[in-house]
């Protein structure tokens, strides 16, 4: 799968699992785009595990949400949380146990398309891994990417187990004919072991191209200016960075 952001100005950011650094990678791409003067919006289709505030289409997330992290790291105000559920579960399960309506991916597609008509770049962050269910019909962020004809930037882990998770994720993208915008290691350890070091070559082999980025562990705790510098060093030029 070759890196291809396509002709659209939308990138869907997904992961091989939860906790791999999707939000920090989203913030890194957004920070560099905004610093380059691009009109950039970030969309969180479904936020789970956050209790404060009602959320809703067009509204930013409240404190503790993924969009709060993006705003803190980038200074962007053009952020949009489409739905929110209090329990830290998949969007479909979180809606079910709370009694709230599930995430509406058809409505999300329309909203994102309208944003993209007036922005230079729209970043759409998923929840958990690529095939996490968003509604009772089993639709996923991969289905939304396909409907938007948008490429997917895949965030993966560095350590043991990542090769299988990454291979399955990339295979699922291929099956849905979703283009790959790149593969990024979302949290590179300060002292990588043998497995982490060897995985870099294997992850690139799975992607069929050099890695699109590698962000150090703890990047999300940095002040905005330092974060932008780390993002610039860690991401490839196609994502606004300087990584070779």
Number of Cβ within 10 Å of residue 117's Cβ equals 9
The per-residue pLDDT for 7 is 53
The per-residue pLDDT for 52 is 56
The domain spans of the chain are: 10-239
Considering the chain, what is the average pLDDT of its residues? 93
Burial of 40 (0-12, 13-18, 19+ CB in 10 A): buried
For residue 194 the two structure tokens come to 């043998």
Evaluate whether 158 touches 196 at the Cβ level (below 8 Å): yes
Query: What 3-state class would DSSP assign to 147?
Result: helix
Q: What is the pLDDT of residues 34-62, one digit of tens each?
A: 999 999 999 999 999 997 554 444 444 44
Q: What is the pLDDT of residues 194-204, one digit of tens each?
A: 999 999 999 99
Q: Residue 244: enclosing H or E segment and its boundaries? A: none
177 is known as an active-site residue:
no
The per-residue pLDDT for 51 is 75
Evaluate whether 8 touches 109 at the Cβ level (below 8 Å): no
Q: What is the DSSP string of 173-221?
A: HHHTTPPEEEEEEEEE-SS--HHHHHHHHHHHHHHTS--SEEEETTGGG
Please provide the CATH number assigned to the domain covering 10-239: 3.40.50.300
The per-residue pLDDT for 238 is 96
The residues facing 149 across adjacent strands are none
Query: How big is the CA angle at 216 (ends 201 and 161), to the nearest 5 degrees?
Result: 45
Q: What is the pLDDT of residues 143-162, one digit of tens each?
A: 999 999 999 999 999 999 99
pTM: 0.92
- Answer yes or no: is pLDDT of 77 > 60: yes
For residue 218 the two structure tokens come to 């703890």
For residue 16 the two structure tokens come to 């091989």
**Given the residues 22, 44, 177, 244, the one annotated as active site:** 44
Burial of 205 (0-12, 13-18, 19+ CB in 10 A): exposed
């Amino acid at each position: 799968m070759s890196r291809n952001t396509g002709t659209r100005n939308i990138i869907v950011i997904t992961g091989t699992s939860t906790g791999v650094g999707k939000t920090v990678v989203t913030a890194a791409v957004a920070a560099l785009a905004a610093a380059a003067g691009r009109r950039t919006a970030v969309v969180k289709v479904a936020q789970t595990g956050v209790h404060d505030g009602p959320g809703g289409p067009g509204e930013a997330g409240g404190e503790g949400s993924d969009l709060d992290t993006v705003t803190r790291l980038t200074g962007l105000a053009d952020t949009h949380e489409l739905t929110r559920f209090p329990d830290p579960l998949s969007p479909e399960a979180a809606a079910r146990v709370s009694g709230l309506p599930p995430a509406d991916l058809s409505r999300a597609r329309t909203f994102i398309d309208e944003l993209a008509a007036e922005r230079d770049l729209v970043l759409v962050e998923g929840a958990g891994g690529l095939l996490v269910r968003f509604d009772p019909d089993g639709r996923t962020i991969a289905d939304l990417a396909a409907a938007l004809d948008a490429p997917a930037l895949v965030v993966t882990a560095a350590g043991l187990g990542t090769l299988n998770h990454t291979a399955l994720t990339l295979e699922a993208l291929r099956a849905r004919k979703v283009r790959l915008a790149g593969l990024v290691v979302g949290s590179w350890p300060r002292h990588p072991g043998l497995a982490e070091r060897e995985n870099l070559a294997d992850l690139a082999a799975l992607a069929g191209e050099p890695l699109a980025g590698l962000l150090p562990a703890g990047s999300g705790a940095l002040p905005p200016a330092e974060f932008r510098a780390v993002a610039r060093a860690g991401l490839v030029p196609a994502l606004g960075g300087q990584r070779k």
